Each structure stands twice: as structure tokens, then as C-alpha cells.
Chains A and B, each alone.
Chain A
């Protein structure tokens, strides 16, 4: 029983590490234009680094038909946009302020991060 309990606690620790503590791989954009796939419940790439104070063009290609994925929000930039299915929706951010700008769906189930450095 002790083993089972330890296994359970280890699983909890794993969940905490995997979902909250792990540093996700960052996609460094070589240009100011990034195409982001929205498929099967995730944005890919989901962590994007761009140059601060520049104009950034994000092109979202949504192929995930789930209604959860249809709205994109970037709260720190006060931005929201409907993403049409099977189409590219361009999001242009002029003079992006330095810092982290999380983006997500309306329910915050699909998450991504735009880092302006």
C-alpha cells in the first residue's frame, strides 16, 4: 500500500512539473511573420519569441473544427479575433510591447505565449 501511495504522490509531482514547472520550447522567429497551426487542440508553435517594439504578423491556420478553437484572444494587447475554419487569419500587431503576451481560446484551454524580447 505504501508503494501505491508513493506512486500516487509521484504522479502528482509529475503533473505539477509537467504542466506548471516545465519550461516549454521557444520558437525564435527569424522574421516578423509567424504561421501558427491550430490543430487537434494545440497551437503550434505555442511559444514564440519576437523582437520587441516591431510589427509582428501572426498567421493562424485553424484546422481544428472544435468550436472551442474559434476565438483567439491576446488579453495583454486587448485583442480578440474569430478564426475561420480551414483559413488563415492574419493578426498584425504593431509596435509590440516588450514582455510576455499569452494568447489563448475563449476558455483558456488552448494556450500559447508570445514573448517580445
Chain B
């Protein structure tokens, strides 16, 4: 059973709905069909092929197509944006074609007064031309203003409509009845109306362009999803649409192709590039039983995997959803701007009236002109958009930028708090270290051949289930060593293992085992101590009662943990390491990565207590862990960072998810958060300057001291470009490089 959505064309009445639904239900393999008349789509459930559904709809006289996938939606959205952009540019041209010559005429000393009958006729024609411009280029503003007004709300359109409407009405009043105005007040402002409309449309068009760029990160993520997949059904390879892949399908991926859905490798092996999701630049080796994730690229061999998660359940789809949600959320820093925005437009209208009244009562002659100019300018210069856009635009780019670096930030609040972290609590195992024991040293003694000794040791340990044994076997296999048969294998609890190979008696275990078997290891104690001080567990390997090798196993520190932690320390962040390990191992690891504060033998529940204690000291605490046993501490911290868990449930619960296992992701997350907050502050500052400084100047505050009174045209330009300023500034974040 699968669900499909079809777009239907030609359905013009409600009765078509019943007709289409019936036609579909009568098609073989359809269990239900429901049409949505508003958006002309029909949802169909069943096993019927899309072709048969389209045929059924076309047979009754309508046109149908399989509804677009997410990427096509995006394409449609882009096309619609382009269409709207072109329309805005046309409106700009028309308005400026009238506004610019008129303004130049006025600036160059042309007569803008209505003094004679000829002036009246000429300006009447220009007034009517301006009206036509208002209808074509400003229709959307006036319609929006009116609709808002009848809904008892006001928005940017209200201000534009009032501002341009006032200047046009005042000018037309002069043209129609010049005698009621004093001689000095017979100046017309048609050029202001046309210019303002032109500039505002231009500003909107440029804003639309700039806004498109802010969502590039999400477009890139959506673009990772391939459109088709090759599945093997009934021993036959079929290329099918991605929407038709179902869980359990065997999916074939050739070198160079993208993995279509999430799954587990069942055949073949290859290196897979996961950098687009995790930021991890080195391709990962995938073998049978390894998981592969949708959107990643198969680099070398061919693999066949079994689909586990498809559609909106894939890790990629969940990441896209998470990023979208986070991009649309707001941190508290934008709250003040929000509150102001709610009261903004009516307040500006009141200020405009008060300003006009002040000019009328106390202004110089011609008071009417000054009153109209100041009221119009106040209405036009105020820009609620810049104020409202300041925070969300930066969050949108910042969260997208983080996603590109393999850092998933859950919401705007997490972004803001991350930028304020003063102490970072870091779990050791799996966070600073690899989380899997590895053989780090194999030191042969008494002239033993290394390869043979390692072969025998690994062969002996291959029968053991101890994690340290597994580390030895894995390393030996990775070095191309073939294991041999062991006879008489015995595990000696708490001590080690013994067995035989041909005529050799093999013994591998700790110091006590060697002592019990009377094997002298005293000559190697210096080496043993040196290895132990590096947080390594040392084992002894003896052949025929004689020491053959010292084997050290450790959970190695990740190559880049030290440099990543130095980045955080360089930012003034205090690092505290917590581990359940013994003090000697903890100290060795802490020393190796340059951490001076650490706590050993800490139980998972004690980690949360440590976080609480640091918070009580006034620290803003970040907690980094693997998201499973660290869950209480992650939840309690001001910001919880789940590391290397992009495909599991931690993604939904952590504040920040680091898709790659490197701690550089953590440093990147903090750097991006700081850069985004800086950007938000710049935007809020710009928006407040435009409005807080702009409105009083427009009202004529500077006039008594300097004779400066803003022209409505300048105000129009300021309003148009204020939004553009914040959107463009937010776009600067796209160029930010966390490692710089």
C-alpha cells in the first residue's frame, strides 16, 4: 500500500470532485481517493500505478500529473519568485519612468507650482498619469492596506498607501482648487508619489532576490536527494522514482551514484562520501551490515543495500525538516523587535498626525506644505519590515550555514545560548576518544619476528569475546594478517587466555597470569609503566614459556580532539572533562588534549550533578556527549550537544547535533552561533537606526536647529533599502568560515 498525490487540471466546479474521486476508486488497486478542490490535488492510496491513475482521470476529461516531489516544489517556488520579481521590476520601471523626469525637472528649477490655468491643465494631466502609475505600480500596496484596514490591522502597505495617497491627494487638491491654498503652498508632489512607488517596488524586488539566497543551504540539502533509484525486484534491475521505493527493497548503487534512501549494505563494499551530511571530508568504508544514508555518494565499488527508511523517514528528510523548523524559529534577542513591530504601524500613524499638528501650530509659512511633507515623510520612512526581518533573516542563514558544516541546531534559542557558553563539559569516551579500544602498541621482545607473533596472538584472541581481544584481532586483520587455527583454547577468568598452535604453547594475559605461570617479565617493567602512564592497558604474550611481546590497548584520542578543544579554549571557554574511567586514564587523556580540569570515575547521573553545580556558579554550561548515557546531563545543560549521532533519535532531542564525530563540529557550532548573534545585533542596530533616528528627522526635529527637513523621496529610498540592508547583511553570513 502506498500513497500518491496527483495534480489535476480542468476541475472547475465542486461536482468535478465527486466525478474524479469515483473514477479513481473504480480503478484497480485503489483503496481510497480524496480530492482537495482548493489546491486541485487528489490523494490516492493503494497499489495502482501512477500511469493507470492518470489514465483514469484523463478518460473523464481532465488532465493529471503525478504531484511534484519536494525538489520540484522548490523549483516551482523559484519560478514563482522569478515571476513576481519580474512583475516588481516592471512596476518599478513604470513608476520611475514618470517619477525620474518629474523630479529632475523640479531639481533643475522647473516650475512645480500651480499658478496659471495652463499650469492647472498640465499638472492635471500629470496628476492623472500619476494616478495610472498608482493603479499599476501601487495597486498591491493599496489593496493590502485596505484589506488590512477592514480587518482592523495595519502593515507596511498601510504606511505606503497613506504616505503616497496623502501627497497625491494634496497635489490634486491644489490642481483642482488652487484658490483655497495660499500662494506659497501651491507646490505639487506628484513626482514624490511616483518616485516612492518606484523605489519601494525596486526595494521589494531586490529583497526577494536576497531572500532567495538565504535559503540556499536548505535548497542544497533538498538537492542531495536523488530523483530515481535502481531497485532489484524479482531478480531484475528497475530504475524507479524515489517515491516508489519501499522499505525492504534491494537498492543497487553504482560508483558515482547517490544513495537513494537509508538502508543496510547486504552485498559489496565501497567508500561512501558522507561529507554533504556530516562535513567529514574523508569517504567512509562501507561493508556488509554497515548503514548507508540517503544523499551520500558512492565513490568506488558497487553496493547493494536493503532499504530501511524511505520518504520522510530518511535521515536526510528529517534533517531537512529540522533545519527548516529551526530556520523559522526566533531567539529571544528578537523579542523586543517583535513587540515593537506589533504596535509599530498605528504608532507611526499617530506620530505622523502629531507631527502635522505641530507644524500647523508652530511651523513657518506655508504651514500646510510643511505639515503635509512631514506627515508624508514620517509615514514613508518608517519601516516595520527591517525591524521584523532583522532576526529571522540572520537565523535562517546561520542555521543553514551550520547545517552545511554538519551541525544541526534545533532552534533559534539554542543558537543564541550557544554563543554565550562559558563552560563546556565534555564526556571522554566516544567524544574526546574514539570510543572503541584499539591496539596501539605491539612490542616484540627476545628477538621474536613481529608478524608471526602478532599472527599467533591475534589467532589466540580470536576465540575470546573480551573487548581488548577484539581490538587485537581487528588490528591484525587490518594489517593483512591471516589467522591460524588454535587448539586447546582456554579462557582463564580475570587473567587471560591460553592455547596452542602446532608445537607452540601460547599464553596471553595480565601480569598475574605471567606470575602464576612463572614467566619472568621483570625486564620489561619500565616499558610497561611508560605505556600505562599513557592510559594504555598492557598485556603480555608468551610463547613456550618465554616472553614474546608486550601488547598495549587503548581507546585512542581522536586525532583532532586537541586542536578542536584549543579552539574552544582560545574563545575563552572553560573545558571540564568527565569520565567513568579510572583517574590514571583520565589524567593521561586530559593531559594529551590540554585539559586541566577533569573528574574521573563519574557515574552518568553524577554528570548531571556536575552540570548543575557549574550552573549554580553562574556558568552558562554546554554539555557534549554521545546522546545516550549522557542524556540527563545533556538535558540539564543550557545547551546539549549530541555528537556523531545524526541518524538516531538524539537528533530530535538534543539542542545541537554534531553530525560528524570530530569535536571541531562543536567548535564550529559555537563559532557559527557567535557569528549569527553578531549579525542579528548588527541587523537590529540598522533597523532601529532607520526607524528611531529616521522618524524624528522625518517629523522635522532637526529643522529648528539646522533647517533640515527630509524629502519624502529620500524617505522612500530609505524605507526601500532598509529591508535590503538587513537581508544583505544576513547574507554576509553565508561567507563565514568557522575555522577562520
Contact = CB atoms under 8 A, between A and B. Distances in A.
Among A15, A18, A19, A105, the most chain B Cβ lie within 10 Å of the Cβ of A19
A12 B385 contact: no
A28 interface: no
Given A42-B148, A67-B207, A80 B353 contact: no
* Chain A contact patch, size range: 35 or more
Contacts of B350: 12, 15-16
A68 B157 CA distance: 11
A8 interface: yes
A85 B77 contact: yes
A1 to B, nearest CB: 7
Contacts of A81: 328
Interface in A1-58: 1, 4-5, 8, 11-12, 15-16, 18-20, 22, 24, 35, 39-42, 44, 46
Interface in B27-85: 36, 38-39, 73, 76-77, 80-81, 84
B572 interface: no
* Chain B contact patch, size range: 35 or more
B588 interface: no
A59 interface: yes
Interface string B378-414: 0000001101110010000000000000000001000
B152 A109 contact: no
Contact of A106 (B81, B143, B346, B389): B389
A90 to B, nearest CB: 9
A24 B77 contact: no
A59 B41 CA distance: 14
A88 interface: yes
Contacts of A61: 38-39
Interface string B77-99: 10011001000000000000000
**Mostly helix, strand, loop or mixed at chain A's interface?**
mixed
Contacts of B144: 40-42, 66
Nearest to A75: B330
B148 A41 contact: yes
B152 A19 contact: yes
A75 B411 CA distance: 12
B637 interface: no
Contacts of B147: 39-42
B151 A46 contact: yes
Contacts of B342: 108, 111
Given A4-B360, A109-B155, A84 B353 contact: no
Given A4-B360, A109-B341, A88 B36 contact: yes
A65 interface: yes
11 contacts: A1-B361, A5-B361, A12-B350, A22-B152, A24-B151, A67-B204, A78-B411, A80-B328, A82-B324, A106-B388, A107-B341
| Top 9 closest pairs, chain A to chain B, by CB | A107-B388, A80-B328, A41-B144, A109-B155, A108-B341, A19-B346, A88-B39, A65-B84, A40-B147
